[in-house]
Amino acid sequence: MKKLKFAVIGAGSGGQGMAAKLAIDGYSVKLYDIDDEKIRKLKEIGEIKLSGKIVGIGRPDVITTDIREAVEGVDVIMVITTTNAHADVAVSLMPYLKDEQMVILNPGHTGGVLEFKNVLKQNNSVSTPIIAETQDLLYGCRTNSIGDIFVSGIKKVMGIATLPAKDVNYVIETLGSIFPQFKALPNVLYTSLDNMASIIHPIPTLLNINKIDLMQSFEYYMEGITPSIANIMEQADKERLDIGRAFGITLTSISEWLKTSYGLKDGSLYEILQSNEAYRGTKSPQSINHRFLYEDTLSGMVPLASLGAELGIKTPTLNAFICIASIVSDRNYYKEGRTVEKLGLAGKTVEEICEMVS
């Protein structure tokens, strides 16, 4: 089998981490971002240093703001932008996609592949690459500085699914030796509905808004999540699990996911979070304009609540936090977010949606 060539779309901490790891492992990789200044600095440095759980220096073959240059001649396109940018990424990639390529949304969050494919369809794309989504970002990364990334954790298991569902077998066959953590899931409902970021990010952020407004830095997971906040998170998580049951899917609870992903022991959600060393050192958002709020509301809470409403499932906790997020951000997250209309699911029954993702 030929050695795969990669493009990484998005040069945030996760994108830099992925590009560096692939380069360290000997793969040809191109790194793309729309941020001219960030790309200028990365080109000037010429390398990305990883520390923490992965140690090494990776040197991407190409660092660019030209998306055509980034994806031309590559086999796998790893999209590691904020998930609310997926629709724009689909439009930008569309003219250059090839049937033989593979696009992996890292992660897809709730409805990533559905939205991506719907955008391609609406724009009359002629290419039909394989499109997959992971449940979460494989590597927990944070930026010390541009080109210097700290890897705080590596997931032990990472669910992945495709649309159509059968394509996941080819993805695992092709990428399994590079990413042995990848675990094939039956369809994209499993990856989309098992979106833990929709619970673990917006709720603690909003419930710590006083500290954030006062610019009082704190450890996000260790100090920002108290037993009471963990209880609220579990209530929102129950609503997510109810949506899964409507499809006949037994989803993973947030507590079970944390234990499986990070090899943690039993306990309450609060106790599990406090024992997760991979989360230790993660600082709080410096302002309310942070991806923990806008990304995970737009691509997590909104599609879950929208899908719940479509199926007649009550999601009062999710709705409450979407409303609060909209007020504090002065944005209409219901309008901007991934609704069932944007996912191509409006007016469909449970049976029709299950058929659609098979």
Ordered by where they begin, the domains of the chain are 5-192 (3.40.50.720), 197-356 (1.10.1040.10)
To the query of whether residue 86 is one of the catalytic residues in this protein, the response is no
How far is the C-alpha of 322 from the C-alpha of 320, rounded, in Å? Answer: 6
pTM of whole model > 0.85? Answer: yes
| Helical pair 86-93 and 112-122, crossing angle rounded to 10 deg | 40
Q: What confidence category does residue 356 fall into, taking pLDDT thresholds of 50, 70 and 90?
A: very high
Taking residue 288's Cβ as centre, other Cβ atoms within 10 Å add up to 17
Neighbours of 93 (CB within 10 A): 26
The mean predicted confidence, pLDDT, of the chain is 96
pLDDT of amino acid 82: 94
> Given a cut of 80, is residue 2 above it in pLDDT?
no
What's the confidence (pLDDT) of residue 232?
A: 98
Catalytic residue among 75, 86, 194, 201: 201
Q: At residue 45, what are phi and psi to the nearest 5 degrees?
A: -70, -45
Sign of the alpha-carbon torsion through 348, 239, 322, 189: negative
Per DSSP, the residues of 217-256 read --BTTTTT--HHHHHHHHHHHHHHHHHHHHTT--PPPHHH
Q: What is the pLDDT of residues 128-153, one digit of tens each?
A: 999 999 999 999 999 999 999 999 98
Give yes or no: 296 in active site: yes
pLDDT value, residue 1:
60
pLDDT at 276 over 90: yes
Q: Which of 33, 75, 237, 296 is catalytic?
A: 296
- Residue 264 CB: number of other CB atoms within 10 A? 19
DSSP run (H or E) holding 50: strand 48-52
